[in-house]
Amino acid sequence: MRNTTPKAAPLSDEFAAGGGLLHRRAFLRSGTVLATSMAAAGLTMREAVAADGPEWMTKQGAPLRPYGMPSPFEKHVERAVLLPFGPVADGTGVALTPLQHLRGTITPNGLHFERSHNGVPQIDPAKHRFMIHGMVKNPLEFSIESLLRYPMVSTVCFIECAGNSFFNSNLFSKAMQVPVGHLHGLVSAAEWTGVRLSTLLEETGADVDAKWLLAEGADAAGMSRSIPMEKALDDVIVALYQNGERIRPEQGYPMRLVLPGYEGNMNVKWLRRIKVLNQPTYTKDETSKYTDRRPNGKSNLFTYTMDAKSTITHPATGLKMQGPGVYEISGLAWSGHGAVKRVEISADGGNSWADAHLEEPVHSRSLTRFRMLWNWDGKPTTLQSRTIDEKGNTQPTRAKWSRSYGPGQLNHCNAIQSFTINPDGSIANVFI
Ligand SMILES: Nc1nc2c(c(=O)[nH]1)N[C@H]1C(S)=C(S)[C@@H](COP(=O)(O)O)O[C@H]1N2
Ligand SMILES: [Mo]
């Protein structure tokens, strides 16, 4: 993020809301210059071009290689690995997407977040089998080779862990000062390609009163969840490809379920079987875990859809301001209910709001990039964003979200994220 000094102060009609939020046209009018002036460096353009080229123009570059890797100068761009039980259980935990270092809407495969309950199994695709059994007419076993012969579909969607944003949940009474990737990086988006689950269920056939499925993974956690038949027949994919290449081991190689919009936990990785049933199974992952505490002490079961949500990623914790001036605020918005319709930004702690620009295409149930121009006057300022999705869902303040659940509630936190920009350029996570 670079600061710029506008040549002209914004006109009053260029402000979109309080705290310095600007309409997009203000950037053009201000004649903002982001680059270094060559005149200031004492060079004419002719002298600068005639001077010796950079060092890397003087020798042959690195040889061609079979699989590309990021530049060594980007080493700091990596997932944050958090192991709640320490190194004794290093397959249990999360690896969070570094949102503060990414500017697009699709997560590179090496940076897709990971949530695993008992490590990543190394599965030989030649030996892997996927079964559909239970209340079906024709139980079937599929090899990867056979699955690759079915007609495929692709869906661009996010996967979000129900526990995403846990640092802002009722587990914490104080806002944690960690990068935005730690705060909200249990969400990633990819283009998933595979076979519709409905295509495979058509082949096995299902009894008329079969209303539920049990999906189980081939990891040491044997992670399993119940899935309503209605969702299975609607848009669930048995995915084999992630952004065009075969799914990464961390994401479920050689195959996983993708349930667009539903909580991450149900997207069973390393999928080995689906049992067709007439009732849910009440597995450990849908009873002791992934249930929601109500204020009255009871719990909600089967809260599938991930709510409308957003976070600013630039500027955000993990980054630093470069002085007063014009910045582009940018961030990510999403909703498990459908497409993001609007994103509003506030630069005065929620007193006034203005619509951000949404980057096209806006995919239903995927990450949408929003942008808004902002003139920071160098004073303490609190930035917020809130999504309004196509069904009218939006985000509560953190105080309201916190009250609507019981103590210790961790999952499904879609509270508005607030970042305070301090005069020294530091950025803080704050609870409002
Ligand atoms: N078999 C199996 N599937 C699993 C898990 C697991 O530990 N084992 N973790 C679940 C959880 S809690 C989430 S949030 C998503 C995470 O998917 P990702 O690691 O590809 O981001 O996978 C789900 N599927
Ligand atoms: Mo999760």
Supply the CATH number for residue 208's domain. 3.90.420.10
Structural domain contains residue 178: no
Residue 161 C-alpha to ligand 2 middle, in angstroms?
Answer: 4
Q: How far apart are alpha carbons 328 and 56 in whole angstroms?
A: 32
223 and 244 fall within a common domain: yes
Give the residue, out of 265, 272, 304, with the most ligand 1 atoms within 8 A of its beta carbon, to mutate for a pocket test. 265
Q: Which of 224, 71, 242, 55 is nearest to 134 (CA)?
A: 224
Lining residues, ligand 1, CB within 6 Å:
112-117, 159, 161, 217, 219, 221, 223, 250-251, 264-265, 267-270
CB 287 within 8 A of CB 301: yes
* 167-188 pLDDT, tens digit each: 999 999 999 999 999 999 999 9
98 and 226 fall within a common domain: no
User: Between vectors from CA 250 to CA 244 and to CA 252, what angle results, nearest 5°?
Assistant: 70
Structural domain contains residue 101: yes
Assess whether pLDDT exceeds 90 at residue 32: no
Structural domain contains residue 145: yes
The secondary structure of 342-406 as a DSSP string is EEEEESSTTSS-EEPEEPSP--TTS-EEEEEEEEE-SS-EEEEEEEEETTS-----HHHHHHTS-
The number of the ligand 1 atom at minimal distance from the alpha carbon of 117 is 7
What is the pTM for the complete model shown? 0.95
Q: How far apart are alpha carbons 330 and 380 in whole angstroms?
A: 19
Structural domain contains residue 404: no
Q: How far apart are alpha carbons 342 and 355 in whole angstroms?
A: 7
105 and 198 fall within a common domain: no
Beta pairing class for 21-22 and 368-376 = antiparallel
Residue 411 C-alpha to ligand 2 middle, in angstroms?
Answer: 9
The residue from 261, 290, 319 where one domain ends is: 290
Please give all residues whose CB falls under 5 A of ion ligand 2, grouped by chain where several chains appear. Answer: 115, 161, 264-265
139 and 105 fall within a common domain: no
Structural domain contains residue 366: no
Give the pLDDT score at 1.
Answer: 46
102 and 143 fall within a common domain: no
What mean pLDDT value characterizes the chain?
94
CB 128 within 8 A of CB 254: yes
Structural domain contains residue 252: yes
For residue 216, report the phi and psi dihedrals to the nearest 5 degrees. Answer: -130, 140
Assess whether pLDDT exceeds 80 at residue 315: yes
282 and 199 fall within a common domain: yes
* Amino acid residing at 316: A
The number of the ligand 1 atom at minimal distance from the alpha carbon of 160 is 14
Give the pLDDT score at 353.
Answer: 98
192 and 112 fall within a common domain: no
Number of domains in the chain: 2
286 and 193 fall within a common domain: yes
141 and 240 fall within a common domain: yes
- Structural domain of residue 265, as residue ranges? 129-156+188-290
Q: Longest C-alpha distance within the chain, in Å?
A: 81
136 and 280 fall within a common domain: yes
139 and 249 fall within a common domain: yes
Structural domain contains residue 395: no
Structural domain contains residue 348: no
144 and 275 fall within a common domain: yes
- Percentage of the chain modeled with pLDDT above 70: 97
Assess whether pLDDT exceeds 90 at residue 278: yes
Q: How far apart are alpha carbons 206 and 214 in whole angstroms?
A: 13
- Cα torsion angle, 383, 389, 391, 393, sign: negative
The residue with tokens 């609870």 is 431
